[in-house]
Amino acid sequence: MKRTFQFICILLFSLTACEYENIEDLKPTVNFDNCKTDRVSFQTDIEPIFKQNCSTSGCHNSGSFNGDFSTYAGIKAGVDDNNKIKQRVVIRKDMPASAPLPDCEIRKLTTWLDAGAPNN
């Protein structure tokens, strides 16, 4: 019994003592980026981002003091106001308040803004 306990302790110690030196080698080298930004549409790509992250209760919903991002007109007003949306979401990344948007959503939003924020 004592030998079994010693063997288990040695085995556990040896397993916990192992460490891989170069963690970067464990990451996949193939880039599977599925972020399509060649044809960004307000209705398909941009509006869902705003609905999920911005036009929620207490943030930028209808009647909000901070602006109404529940409609294209409200979002466009935020774009036209010294490019406030690009400054806060893309450059400073301090909005949405919960956490910055994922890189793909930021790239889509940037593409849409650079195209003049069309209602397409």
DSSP string, 6-23: HHHHHHHHHHHH---S-G
Please tell me the predicted confidence (pLDDT) of residue 77.
93
| Residues 79-102, mean pLDDT to the nearest whole number | 92
Tokens 């996949």 sit on residue? 28
User: Which stretch of 55-64, 73-82, 97-106 has the lowest confidence by average pLDDT?
Assistant: 55-64
Tens-digit pLDDT profile for residues 49-74: 999 999 887 888 788 788 889 999 99
Q: Which of 85, 91, 79 is nearest to 116 (CA)?
A: 79
Pick the residue with more confidence: 35 or 63? Answer: 35
pTM of the model: 0.70
| Residues 18-24, mean pLDDT to the nearest whole number | 54
The single-letter code of the amino acid at 119 is: N
Where in the chain are the domains?
A: 42-114
